[in-house]
Every structure is written in structure tokens, then in C-alpha cells.
């Protein structure tokens, strides 16, 4: 099973178009050692030919352009993308669906609640009905393993997570199971698996048990501290208020990931303000000391 990181940044990418924080300004000026990053998405394949896109970011066209496996081959009109699965209905995870409108009917996998939000609050799916159309498949959150039509070699399990639905959702301040999910993606031949959760506010006992059973953790790396946006003067909310578990501090992601020393541990969905983007920062060295990796665009994991 191959996992390709198409985008590794949080919403807005890195550098963010309107941001002059130390990271964004430093990257533009070349005064820090860092890589540009597009908005988070991964592609997974069990056979190297048919790929499942997990989240479709607004940067999807550039990501396809940088990934030969997803580009047209053979037929006059074709794509390596065989299906799309959504972890949530956030704009930075769903707006890219509109950019796939020129293709055939799009197989889409999501929970009921995400489907509702994309039919109403952010009606991407209604808009696509005027173009390619969508074949929607309901993703259950009862722990059932499932395969995708036309996708060989992998199966999936959805796990409801504590996080936040999109701001346009009527459940923004009262999230329900299914608003945000993680996927366990398993290679049917080897049995090896990855847990993908770009939005994760809390690791409870149920989630911890699931994380303990996989070979790779590709999880929320959005913020370094809970008050990061506030302290930098670029926002008014804490990390936990918008559904993300920061890395530092008591109970933070670093402390939590120590419980899974046998898994490869990789952070994804990294906000432009996070100091770990500076590869020479003390925070980045701390992650390296812990054996925690930072995802980058073009990174490939083989399981």
C-alpha cells in the first residue's frame, strides 16, 4: 500500500496568501529553512493504479500536477483518482471537489452528517449535479470495515473523532459523532495499516486503542500551543475551540504520541503559524528528539 502526501498544510497553505507572520515572511524572504506546503490531502493506493483521494483541497489541481500517478493515462480523458473520501466537510477538505467537475461521475464517501453539510451549508454536491454528478456512498461510524468499488488491495474503517464541524454547519457549537472522522486504511495483503486524522481535538480511550493497533499515525499537527493564534495576534480562538489538539503542553500531541512508540508517527495539517515549519527551530528539534516526523508535500509512505 502506498500513501502519498499531496498537501500537508492546514487551511490557507504555507505561506498563507495574506499572512506576514515570522514563518510566512521568512519563507518568502528565504530567511528560514522551510518548505512551501499546500492544503492537506493524501492519496492511497493498493495497486499503484487506482487511487483514493482523502479530502479534496482547493489546491487539488496543483497537487495532481505534481503527482504523475494521478494524471491522465491511456484514454483521451482519464485519471488515477478512482474515489474521494472525506474526513469532514471543511472548506479546505471539500472545495477541491468543484475542481474535479470535468470528469466522470465522482464516487464520494462520507458520513451522513458531512453529506448533509455539503448539500446545504456549503452545497458543493448540489453544484456538481450540474457537471459530473456524484455517486455518494454512506460511511458508517459503527466500526464496520468496508472496501470501495473499483479499489483493489485496501479496506477502510471509519472512527468518529472529537473535533469541530465546519463553521457553516448548524452543529458547529454542538458537534455530533460523524461530523469529523479518522480513517484506518489497511493493506489487504500485508495487514499493515495507517490511521489518518488531520482534525483531532482529543484522544480518548477508544481512539487510543485504535491508534495502538496501526503501523503509522498520520495525525493532526495544526498548532504547537493552544493559544498560538491569539499570542501571535492572528486569531481570537484557542486550538481546542476549533477542534485541534496542540503539540506542546500537558496532554498535548507530543505527550500522547509517546504512548505509541512502535508506530511511525507523522504530523500533518500544519498551520502556517506553527514553529515546527522552521526546520531549524527548537520546536522542530524537540519533535526530532521524540522521533516524530513532519509531513511535507510529496512525502510517500509505503506499508
With 90 as the cut, is the pLDDT of residue 73 above it?
no
Average pLDDT over residues 151-174: 95
User: Per-residue pLDDT for 112 more than 90?
Assistant: yes
Q: Of 240, 292, 278, whose CA–CA distance to 22 is shortest? A: 278
Binned at pLDDT 50, 70 and 90, residue 71 comes out as: very high
CB 228 within 8 A of CB 274: yes
Residue 245 to residue 220: CA distance in whole angstroms: 7
State the DSSP string of 178-222. Answer: TSSEEEEEEETTT--EEEEES--SB--HHHHHHHTT-SEEEEE--
Total domains in the fold of the chain = 1
In terms of Cα–Cα distance, which of 260, 269, 298 is closest to 65?
Answer: 298
pLDDT given at position 228: 97
At 75 the pLDDT is 86
Hey, what's the cell of 196?
489518518
Strand order in the sheet with 106-110: 134-138, 106-110, 81-85, 51-54, 41-45, 2-7, 300-302
Which carries the bigger pLDDT value, residue 120 or residue 76?
120
Over residues 151-180, the mean pLDDT reads 95
Taking alpha carbons only, the member of 145, 275, 277 closest to residue 213 is 145
Q: What's the whole-number average pLDDT of the chain?
A: 97
CB atoms under 10 Å from CB of 121, counted, come to 17
Residue 240 grid cell: 481546542
pLDDT at position 215 is: 98
The helix/strand/coil state of 64 is helix
DSSP alpha helices (H): ranges in the chain? 22-29, 60-65, 91-94, 112-119, 124-128, 205-211, 228-232, 253-257, 282-290
List Cα–Cα distances, 94 to 201, 286, 290, in angstroms.
Answer: 20, 33, 33
What is the CATH classification number for the domain harbouring 249?
3.60.15.10
Please confirm whether the linkage preceding 255 is cis (ω < 30° from 0): no
Domain region containing 146: 2-302
pLDDT digits (tens, 9 = 90+) for 184-223: 999 999 999 999 999 999 999 999 999 999 999 999 999 9
Please give the pLDDT value at position 150: 87
Cell numbers at 254, concatenated: 507530543
Amino acid at each position: 500500500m502506498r500513501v502519498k502526501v499531496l498537501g500537508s498544510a492546514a487551511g490557507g497553505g504555507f505561506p498563507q496568501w495574506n499572512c506576514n507572520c515570522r514563518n510566512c515572511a521568512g519563507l518568502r524572504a528565504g530567511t528560514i529553512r522551510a518548505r512551501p506546503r499546500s492544503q492537506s490531502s493524501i492519496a492511497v493506493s493498493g495497486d499503484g493504479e487506482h487511487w483514493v483521494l482523502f479530502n479534496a483541497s482547493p489546491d487539488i489541481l496543483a497537487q495532481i500536477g505534481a503527482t504523475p500517478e494521478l494524471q491522465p493515462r491511456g484514454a483521451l480523458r482519464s485519471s488515477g483518482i478512482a474515489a474521494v473520501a472525506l474526513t469532514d466537510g471543511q472548506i479546505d477538505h471539500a472545495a477541491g471537489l468543484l475542481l474535479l467537475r470535468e470528469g466522470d461521475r465522482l464516487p464520494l464517501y462520507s458520513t451522513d452528517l458531512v453529506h448533509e453539510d455539503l448539500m446545504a451549508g456549503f452545497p458543493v454536491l448540489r453544484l456538481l449535479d450540474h457537471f459530473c454528478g456524484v455517486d455518494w456512498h454512506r460511511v458508517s461510524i459503527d466500526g464496520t470495515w468496508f472496501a470501495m468499488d473499483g479499489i483493489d488491495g485496501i479496506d477502510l474503517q471509519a472512527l468518529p473523532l472529537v473535533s469541530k464541524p465546519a463553521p457553516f454547519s448548524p452543529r458547529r457549537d454542538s458537534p455530533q459523532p460523524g461530523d469529523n472522522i479518522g480513517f484506518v486504511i489497511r493493506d489487504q495483503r500485508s495487514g499493515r495499516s495507517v490511521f489518518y486524522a488531520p482534525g483531532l481535538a482529543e484522544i480518548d480511550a477508544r481512539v487510543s486503542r485504535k491508534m495502538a493497533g496501526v503501523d503509522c499515525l498520520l495525525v493532526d499537527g495544526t498548532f504547537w500551543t493552544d493559544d498560538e493564534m491569539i499570542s501571535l495576534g492572528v486569531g481570537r480562538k484557542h486550538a481546542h475551540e476549533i477542534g485541534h489538539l496542540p503539540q506542546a503542553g500537558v496532554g498535548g500531541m507530543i505527550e500522547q504520541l509517546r504512548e505509541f512508540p512502535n508506530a511511525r508517527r507523522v504530523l500533518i495539517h500544519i498551520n502556517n503559524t506553527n514553529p515546527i515549519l522552521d526546520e531549524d527551530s527548537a520546536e522542530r528539534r524537540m519533535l526530532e528528539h521524540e522521533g516524530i516526523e513532519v509531513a511535507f508535500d510529496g512525502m510517500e509512505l509505503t506499508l
